Structure formats: structure tokens, C-alpha cells
């Protein structure tokens, strides 16, 4: 299981929110590159970079941060937040993203999202399936749609999606543990899916459970920033799997 720390960006700074609420913003570092370099120093290979300004304004905003991290580290970056057009994707990939995550676009403009899958292939395009009460949420989690989570994932799997990041919004940033049961049901319903668990990870002991369930990766945010999980622990975990 891949370990994927998260850096969320508002106004170029590394922040965390609780349940996606912008009013709960806490700044952890003014310089996201410093954070990324520290991850890389501990053997981490992957990064989940979220442009929260982009998610709010519905177009890419913090691409300079992406470019800086991509050029100054070896991290393989999946980038998301407000990607709505072919131009947004061009900028993201040119600035060094290895993969992009599309969430709201997959709900509101499925034809565009499907065209990206066709054009770039399923290894480059991740489906962002963020849910509240198992209903897909969109627009930086500011809106709930009427789409049911598991049927939504299954429908896109039939369109060729192989990577899905699933965040249970009720858990995100709360440090109360992830939605093990939900991930188990998703994996049972969607054979062959590369599921990346996100939201609520609070202790190191949760990671082997997610791996055992069959998650392909896990995104860890606040638990790192609040020192609930140390980078040393993650480094040892990664080395033990090599």
C-alpha cells in the first residue's frame, strides 16, 4: 500500500481543514516546498497536492506551488482542486503533476472527464469520489449531489477508471479513524479497483488494516501535521515493504 501524504494549499501556504470547512483553516507551514522536502527525506515517494483555492474558484490557481515541488523533489504528485477544463489539465501536467484528480467535474461534466480518460489514460486520471452520508459531494465539498457513492464509482470503473480516491468527509481532519467498513464495501463491489483511502487517519495502527482491506494507497494529512503519526514511522513502514 502506497503512503501518500497530503499538502493542501490556500494562498500558497500549507493548511488543513476539518470536514472541508474553510472556516476551520489552520496554517501549518508558509512554505509547502519545505514540507515536501521533509517528506522526501523520509523515503516518501508520493504526494497528494490539493489546490483549495482552485476548488473554490473552479480553475487551477496554485500551479506555481506544484511546479516548485515537482522541480525541486522527486515526488510523484497527484494534483487536484478545481480542474475543470483541458487548459487546467495542460497547466497541471506541464507544471509536473504525475496524475490529476477530478471530482466535481466527474459529476457535473462527465463528458469532459471521460474525454480526459480517453486522452491521457487511466493511469493519469484519478476519480475523486468524496462523499457525505455516501452521497458524492462537489465544489470543494460545499455541495452534496444526489449521486450514490458506490454506484458512482462502479459506473466510472466501467468507463475505464482504475484509480479512485475516496474521502469520507465526515471523517476528514477529525483524527477519529477512517471509514474501514465503507472501503471494505467499495472494494467488494468494485473488483480490481485501485482504491486510495483518505480522511480520518489518526494512528499508525490503522495503516496495516487499510492494507489488509486491499487499499492501493492511503492519504495521510492532519495526523502527520499534528504529530500523531511520525515521518520516522512512515519511513520504517515503507522500508519494511521494499
Residues 6+ apart with CB under 8 A from 130: 20, 103, 136, 137, 141, 165, 166, 167, 169
**Cell matching residue 154:** 462502479
Which cell goes with 64? Answer: 506555481
CA distance 162 to 63: 25
Q: Identify the active-site residue in 78, 130, 168, 172.
A: 130
From first CA to last CA, the distance across the chain in angstroms is: 11
| Residue 174 CB-density burial (10 A; 0-12 exposed, 13-18 middle, 19+ buried) | middle
Catalytic residue among 8, 53, 78, 172: 8
- Based on the residue annotation, tell me whether 51 is a catalytic residue of this protein: no
Q: Which helix (H) or strand (E) holds 217?
A: strand 217-220
130 is catalytic: yes
Decide if 164 contacts 126 (C-beta within 8 A): yes
Q: Which residues are catalytic?
A: 8, 130
Amino acid at each position: 500500500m502506497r503512503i501518500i501524504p497530503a499538502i493542501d494549499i490556500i494562498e500558497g501556504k500549507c493548511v488543513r481543514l476539518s470536514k472541508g470547512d474553510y472556516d476551520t483553516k489552520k496554517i501549518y507551514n508558509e512554505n509547502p516546498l519545505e514540507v515536501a522536502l521533509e517528506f522526501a527525506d523520509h523515503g516518501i515517494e508520493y504526494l497528494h497536492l490539493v489546490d483549495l483555492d482552485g476548488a473554490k474558484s473552479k480553475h487551477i490557481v496554485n500551479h506555481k506551488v506544484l511546479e516548485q515541488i515537482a522541480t525541486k523533489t522527486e515526488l510523484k504528485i497527484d494534483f487536484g482542486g478545481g480542474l475543470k477544463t483541458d487548459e487546467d489539465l495542460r497547466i497541471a501536467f506541464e507544471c509536473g503533476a504525475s496524475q490529476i484528480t477530478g471530482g466535481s467535474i466527474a459529476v457535473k461534466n462527465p463528458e469532459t472527464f471521460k474525454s480526459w480518460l480517453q486522452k491521457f489514460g487511466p493511469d493519469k486520471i484519478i476519480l475523486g469520489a468524496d462523499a457525505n452520508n455516501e452521497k458524492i459531494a462537489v465544489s470543494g465539498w460545499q455541495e452534496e449531489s444526489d449521486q450514490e457513492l458506490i454506484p458512482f464509482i462502479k459506473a466510472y470503473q466501467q468507463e475505464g477508471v482504475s484509480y479512485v480516491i475516496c474521502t469520507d468527509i465526515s471523517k476528514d481532519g477529525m483524527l477519529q479513524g477512517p471509514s474501514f467498513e465503507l472501503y471494505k464495501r467499495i472494494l467488494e463491489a468494485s473488483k480490481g479497483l485501485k482504491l486510495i483511502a483518505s480522511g480520518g487517519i489518526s494512528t499508525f495502527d490503522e495503516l496495516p488494516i487499510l492494507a489488509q482491506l486491499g487499499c492501493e494507497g492511503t492519504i495521510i494529512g492532519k495526523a502527520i501535521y499534528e504529530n500523531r503519526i511520525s515521518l520516522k514511522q512512515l519511513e520504517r513502514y515503507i522500508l519494511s515493504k521494499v
